[in-house]
A = this chain, B = another copy of it.
Amino acid sequence: MSKDQTAEQGQETVTAGFLVIGDEILSGRTKDKNIGYLAEYLTELGIDLAEVRVVPDVEERIVEAVNDLRARYTYVFTSGGIGPTHDDITADAIAKAFGVDIDFDPRAVAILKNFYPEGQLTEARLKMTRIPEGADLIENAVSKAPGFRIGNVHVMAGIPSIMQAMLDAIAPTLRTGRKMLSRTVNADLPESRIAGALKDIQDAHPGVMIGSYPRSIDGRFNTQVVVRSRDEELLTRATGAVADAVAAAVKSE
């Protein structure tokens, strides 16, 4: 990417929605690891993850969520439901959401034929080559069966290692916005001790977002104050004000 492109792209905000598909997440059997990974990854790229939804392996629920999210955000990412078994219905649901046909894709078939030994490309594995009409394939460096992109929707596997590899394949194709910068101020105080000061600092610094994240460590309350902005100078000024407020509160304890 040239410097000019970066500067130009830097002006806009690029947003994303993430759709996690799978009964196993909703039953609690599998603990999701993809939301946190994708969130961090997109923030690093300069894309704002604006919403996440988790829905079951039910066609109408997937169709509804994909159509809602793709109308709202620059990009949509999905994870889960593109494997070889009967409960993997994501590709067909995405085709339905876009109102396009779906069939065995010669490019995907060629990839799997090349990967599996003679006679091992079973009917079940072939199912993984069903790709909606008009979609581009997304490379899968781990287990070869590809994901796909159609419109602004990127369809990825649910296994974390495969989703992560697919994301690396997708990243260079994404437009990115001006990166959100952040600094954290640690406060060994319950957040209520600094709440008033934080509100004043927030009011005085438009263009900066101040988040206060309490946690309890061995029963002691501690607060992480996260200051975010796309403007480095604004960020430095607001972070300084927060650090001063925390120091004053600690002193008055």
Does more than half of chain A's interface fall in helix, strand or loop, or is it mixed? mixed
Of the candidate stretches A78-86, A146-154, A170-178, the one touching chain B is A78-86
- The verdict on A212 contacting chain B, using a C-beta distance below 8 Å, is yes
Asked if A54 and B35 make an inter-chain contact with CB atoms under 8 angstroms apart, the answer reads yes
- 5 A-B pairs with least C-beta separation: A28-B40, A124-B195, A28-B39, A52-B54, A31-B36
- The verdict on A60 contacting chain B, using a C-beta distance below 8 Å, is no
Of the candidate stretches A2-10, A18-26, A91-99, A229-237, the one touching chain B is A18-26
Asked if B51 and A83 make an inter-chain contact with CB atoms under 8 angstroms apart, the answer reads no
Which chain B positions have C-beta within 8 A of A196? 122-124
Task: Return 17 A-B CB contacts under 8 Å, by A number.
Answer: A20-B52, A23-B211, A24-B213, A27-B228, A28-B36, A28-B43, A29-B213, A51-B53, A52-B53, A53-B54, A85-B198, A85-B212, A86-B212, A87-B212, A123-B196, A124-B195, A159-B216
Number of residues in A with C-beta < 8 Å to the partner?
Answer: 70
Which chain B positions have C-beta within 8 A of A37? 28
Q: Among the listed B27, B143, B211, which residue makes an inter-chain contact with A49, where contact means beta carbons less than 8 Å apart?
A: B27
CB distance from A28 to the nearest CB of B (A): 3
CA–CA, A162 to B137, complex, Å? 44
Asked if A24 and B161 make an inter-chain contact with CB atoms under 8 angstroms apart, the answer reads no
Q: Among the listed B35, B51, B84, B209, which residue makes an inter-chain contact with A192, where contact means beta carbons less than 8 Å apart?
A: B84
Task: Check A159/B84 contact, CB under 8 A, given A52-B54, A196-B122, A196-B124.
Answer: no
Q: How many copies does the complex hold?
A: 2
- The verdict on A243 contacting chain B, using a C-beta distance below 8 Å, is no
Asked if A50 and B26 make an inter-chain contact with CB atoms under 8 angstroms apart, the answer reads yes
- The verdict on A55 contacting chain B, using a C-beta distance below 8 Å, is yes
Asked if A159 and B215 make an inter-chain contact with CB atoms under 8 angstroms apart, the answer reads yes
Asked if B39 and A25 make an inter-chain contact with CB atoms under 8 angstroms apart, the answer reads yes
CB distance from A219 to the nearest CB of B (A): 9
Which chain B positions have C-beta within 8 A of A122? 192-193, 195-196
Chain A stretch 162-211: residues in CB contact (< 8 A) with chain B? 162, 180, 182, 191-196, 198-199, 202, 209-211
CA–CA, A36 to B35, complex, Å? 12
Q: For residue A87, which residue of chain B has the nearest CB? A: B211
Which chain B positions have C-beta within 8 A of A212? 83, 85-88
Which chain B positions have C-beta within 8 A of A29? 40, 182, 213, 226
CA–CA, A103 to B155, complex, Å? 45
Which chain B positions have C-beta within 8 A of A56? 50-51
